[in-house]
Chains A and B, each alone.
Chain A
């Protein structure tokens, strides 16, 4: 298969970026999207005037959350429930033009080309996205029973890989789904109760102060989440938030 690629190039955070156009030929439909970019980069490496395109990636199997490209107007491209590294060229047609951009959000400044700085997510977790447990003081695991339904819902929420697609998909660049997933995961478990109120307040406060927009309930986040994290978590976050404010 052959493709024409329009890729966002930006040498560093301060520089002005622009689209460059490249072509790649003879790509196998079984090739993954990032392998296609590897092929492009091999081409660019041998050309003294062009530099390979920088993009983040690591596990290449949809779990580390490192990759994330905005492809033809969709975070992680035109398939549901996948990350960019799980997108395959068989999802495109021969001869397609493909527009490739980084996540665009004030809270995720561009570092270089397609690489953005998502450390704001770490800052939100540092504000309270955990249960304080220490190796010396944990009770025997069998003493904590968790009904299967709650455990399953907690796991559904806990699957978030922190890739940032929800922020990139949202017209307000809100981090609501990310925060809601962590708050829900911990609020659904008995172990998470002692810190629940303080957690939701601290995380929401951190989110607001880091430059993420507010949620206007359009749920583009849910539609584009590679782990299909549900909007119900946002409702749960709102309930937690209301309860925390009352106390």
Chain B
């Protein structure tokens, strides 16, 4: 099988325009007869569903939560990038494009990223028109802040709740379409299977999905002319992450089982500033937004003795004089200082902690200090900028960050990998599209801050409405899709069987065999052996341990309750059942990518001063994995990347 990214002709800046001018359209009368399923109502899903509804298509939107407004996008704190150059500090589409490609360590497609940078400005226009209350200056203009990996201020924000406000904007648009009757909502519904039929050339075509009603447990069939997966990222394969507890890979994995390639699974982002772990009962890790690095300074003590005293609790951060503090990011990266990209900042924190300079609990923590900012700007300004983050921190850690530096440590945050898509966001299953964090498209090996929101909204508001239309234009004669087909019957049976298999051992030996127990154990394996630093040895160990865990899971899993009722333990079991093969795939992908790039750090491949060492000659490609049936090794396909517009260089933030 060869994979074709279908990049339009023309110079980079003209490609998207060229695409739109040559694509096919669907007339208003025909739009009503075409059904589209959108799985997910986060930024990507809600923006896609509402825009497709506005255009007149018949849309069915699905989400796990009781309301579309609660999708995990709601939790995004810091902001959204756009190349508006309102600050007149030298920003442009070209610069946003270059920063994003470089931030991704030259592992993203030029054409996609250029389009993203172009669309970034339209997003801000639309969101302001929707009433998103972005921060303003006294003169009434929009305010901006800086984020990592950029030397301009291009991030728009709504206090520390940017994702919430953008999602409420998209949810408003979606709600309007529900009222107009173009979108039908299916809340508390989980997609379990993708339904496909082979096309005349044997390629699978999406026909619909099988869902489970999370209130009644009932399995349902939904048919459509096209399916969009906007189900978010798979960071929870690490168990503890900054993601919401319900975030999962299962919808994307169901597509993978049916022929959609899964790209670059090992590209996982570990965010430098999260509240450290503190107990084995812990259910999640809380992010402290990257925006804090605008004003907070990161440090550890200069000596191990002081670090030891901090860990023992015999002294506090405030007892350490200025000349005994090591502002290691400012020291190592004078040009970008505390605003280096996330992967760089995370590794630097790990390096200091591993070397014995960590400051709290088990030594896995560094300080993020606002004392200088408070002295320079005053407490009021700092509180206006970060008040809600400070109070969130205070509630969790029980310490006041206005008077004591925060303690932070890296945590799993975002997944750059995901369903492989072409320029049209179409997967290798015809009529199946993927948007937002669920696809792999724009962030290469590392995502820059404030660009996930940008990507999700670009996909949903501005790209899918065109590319889906282009696809559907040749399906206007298909008639109403039916669920009464053999393909549906088979998929329905597959879902029934998978659930029955999970219950087949319940009651055997309940203790330590709940879905939560397996999830925690899997997360530990991944964090220890496939986290911030990976080696051939650690990855081989990971694969072996995942194999053992998989066997135990399928022999000993205990799920309380039954399948025909609301049962959160079953929901979790279904997610863990997919995380296990995904974890193997991540470790395999990491093992075969014999280079370091972005968030993927192989200790065998580093420069003498500990920076990532890419191997462009052998690995300047996307690795796209093809499923070969349950338990079988997957096949690695590659999509070569070429850089025509940008000069390849070593990332340098010094």
Contacts and interface: CB of A to CB of B under 8 A. Distances in A.
Given A52-B568, A138-B129, A141-B128, A148 B137 contact: yes
Interface string B134-167: 1111111110000000000000001101001100
Output the residue of A64, A111, A115, A127 with the most chain B CB within 10 A. A64
A145 interface: yes
A61 B127 CA distance: 25
Contacts of B392: 61-62, 86
B568 A185 contact: no
Interface in B200-252: 215, 244-246
B284 interface: yes
Interface residues of A, number: 79
Nearest to B247: A58
A177 interface: no
Nearest to A191: B131
Nearest to B180: A126
Interface string B550-563: 00000000101100
B284 A60 contact: yes
Interface in A113-144: 115, 117-119, 121-122, 125-127, 129-135, 137-142, 144
Contact of B74 (A51, A63, A82, A142): A63
B173 A119 contact: no
Contacts of A125: 69, 171-172, 175
A144 B136 CA distance: 11
B566 A112 contact: yes
A119 B565 CA distance: 19
Contact of B66 (A63, A66, A147, A189): A66
A57 B54 CA distance: 31
Interface in A139-181: 139-142, 144-148, 151-152, 154-155, 158-159, 161-162
Interface string B112-140: 00000000001011111111011111111
B141 A145 contact: yes
A59 interface: yes
12 contacts: A12-B565, A28-B281, A31-B279, A32-B396, A41-B569, A64-B74, A118-B67, A122-B187, A144-B129, A145-B141, A161-B164, A162-B69
Which 3 A-B pairs give the minimum distances between C-beta atoms? A130-B172, A145-B140, A133-B129
B331 interface: no
Interface string A12-30: 1000000000000000101
B450 interface: no
Interface stretch (B507-515, B533-541, B618-626): B507-515
Interface of B: 51, 54, 65-70, 72, 74-75, 84, 86, 122, 124-131, 133-142, 158-159, 161, 164-165, 168, 171-173, 175-176, 178-179, 185, 187, 215, 244-246, 278-279, 281-284, 286-287, 391-392, 395-396, 398, 461-462, 465, 507, 510-511, 514, 516-517, 558, 560-561, 565-566, 568-569
A158 B124 contact: no
A51 B562 CA distance: 10
Contact of B140 (A32, A57, A148, A162): A148
Interface stretch (A42-50, A208-216, A217-225, A231-239): A42-50
Given A59-B244, A64-B75, A133-B173, 16 more contacts: A39-B281, A41-B569, A45-B558, A52-B561, A56-B66, A65-B70, A90-B398, A117-B66, A122-B67, A126-B176, A127-B179, A135-B461, A137-B129, A147-B136, A186-B131, A192-B131
A34 B283 contact: yes
A172 B530 CA distance: 54
A88 interface: yes
A54 interface: yes
Contacts of A56: 66
A97 interface: no
Contacts of B286: 60-61
B215 A52 contact: no
B70 to A, nearest CB: 4
A135 B161 contact: no
B65 A58 contact: yes
Contact of A134 (B54, B68, B283): B54
B88 to A, nearest CB: 12
A42 B138 CA distance: 52
Contacts of A162: 67, 69-70
Nearest to A155: B133
Contact of B565 (A32, A38, A112, A142): A112
Nearest to B516: A42
A58 B245 contact: yes
A94 interface: no
Given A44-B560, A125-B175, A135-B462, A119 B128 contact: no
B560 A61 contact: no
A112 B164 CA distance: 28
A146 B136 contact: yes
Given A42-B514, A51-B560, A58-B245, A63 B161 contact: yes
Nearest to A59: B244
A54 B561 CA distance: 11
A35 B136 contact: no
B566 A54 contact: yes
B158 A115 contact: no
A34 B286 CA distance: 15
A131 B465 contact: no
B371 to A, nearest CB: 25
B395 A86 contact: yes
A3 B143 CA distance: 48
Nearest to A111: B215
Contacts of A192: 131
Given A35-B282, A119-B187, A129-B175, A159 B136 contact: no
A186 B278 CA distance: 41
B465 A135 contact: yes
B133 A189 contact: yes
A143 to B, nearest CB: 9
B175 A122 contact: yes
Given A31-B279, A65-B70, A191 B175 contact: no
Contacts of B67: 118-119, 121-122, 162
Contacts of A81: 391
Contact of A151 (B66, B68, B135, B278): B135
Given A30-B279, A121-B67, A155 B159 contact: yes
Contacts of B510: 45-48
A148 B136 contact: yes
A133 B566 contact: no
Contacts of B565: 11-12, 112
Contacts of A32: 283, 396
Nearest to A83: B395
Output the residue of A141, A154, A162 with the most chain B CB within 10 A. A141
A186 B168 CA distance: 12
A43 B69 CA distance: 32
A31 to B, nearest CB: 6
A30 B282 CA distance: 10
Nearest to B168: A158
Contacts of B72: 58-59, 64
